[in-house]
Amino acid sequence: MSDPFGTIAEAFSRTAEKYDAFALDHPNQSRMRNRVYKHIEHHTPAGSRILELNAGTGTDAAELARRGYSVHATDIAPGMLARAREKAAQTELRGRMSVQACSFTNLEQVEGGPYDAIFSDLGGLNCIPDLSPVIEQLPRVLKPGGLVTWVIMPPVCLWEMAEIFRGHPRLAFRRFARHGTRTHLEGLYFTCYYFTPRQVQNWFGPNYETLSVEGLSVFTPTAESKNLAKRHQAFYNSLAWLDDRLCTRAPFRSWGDFFIITLRHRL
């Protein structure tokens, strides 16, 4: 399992600077992240200690720290970790955000546990074919009764499936590949896997209670889309209106660029 992780770490290290730059002036991605923060704030009391997996450049950790949480951000990409440490060093975040190089497959190495909540955003967990090896380790770092909030890419993404009408069938249905989808970043190739909420719930098993599932960007574009929200604001706002009203209802809560799932560890 560690072999492809080296490629992934290198790919994301190479793109770290671009990653933060792309997020600037990006109303669609900002909306998506704010939906995630709203979800966390609804379920996770202010002041809670959160362990973030796949924290990337620390964007989410920094924002959650500003919102009153204490966040320990972990990742395996040196380039991402360097930028996360820069954010953690900001005066306003000192004592509220910490950073550690650690894989989610080696949670026994995590410092400072146990935590009130475990968080992972925007598909960081979609790089392994089975989440059960991660879930099995959670009791080492999660308090009894603690929360898990993960943002995961599902197979059904309406925005990608619409590419069939533009003559791109491989893109339209890439998430349905049985053995994952070969993807590339900064010239390096690795495999992504897509999970339904039901699969995730089955991996967690009876020791966890599902509190909430909601689709993220069901009708609005994928996270890569930057210009639609800027160039066609009224149309984008209509799509966002649909998202807000349908994202927690079946079947839409299982669709989208991502879905957000929160579970509680049973006492």
Residue 123 has pLDDT above 70, yes or no: yes
d(CA 117, CA 147): 5
What pLDDT, in 10s, does the model give residues 143-179?
999 999 999 999 999 999 999 999 999 999 999 999 9
> What's the CATH number where 188 sits?
3.40.50.150
- C-alpha 79/C-alpha 62 separation (Å) is 17
pLDDT tens-digit map of 230-247 = 999 999 999 999 999 999
Residue 2 has pLDDT above 60, yes or no: no
Closest CA to 98 of 115, 108, 106: 115
pTM, full prediction: 0.96
- Render pLDDT for 4-59 as a digit per residue (tens, 0 to 9): 799 999 999 999 989 999 999 999 999 999 999 999 999 999 999 999 999 999 99
What's the pLDDT at 267? 80
CA end-to-end span of the chain, whole Å?
31
Checking if the pLDDT of 1 tops 70, the result is: no
**CA 37/CA 41 separation, integer angstroms:** 6
Per-residue pLDDT band for 109 (boundaries 50, 70, 90) equals: very high
Q: How many domains is the chain built from?
A: 1
Reported as a single tens digit per residue, the pLDDT across 57-78 is 999 999 999 999 999 999 999 9
- In which band, very low, low, confident or very high, does the pLDDT at 79 lie, cut at 50, 70 and 90? very high
173 alpha carbon, distance to own chain's centre: 21
Report helix angle 59-66 to 78-88, nearest 10.
20
Q: Note down the domain range covering 252.
A: 2-265
Residues 260, 39: contact at Cβ < 8 Å?
A: yes
pLDDT of 92 higher than 90: yes
Residue 3 has a pLDDT of 53
pLDDT, tens digit, 9 for 90 and up, residues 199-240:
999 999 999 999 999 999 999 999 999 999 999 999 999 999
CA gap 39, 46 in Å, rounded: 13
* Per-residue pLDDT, 148: 98
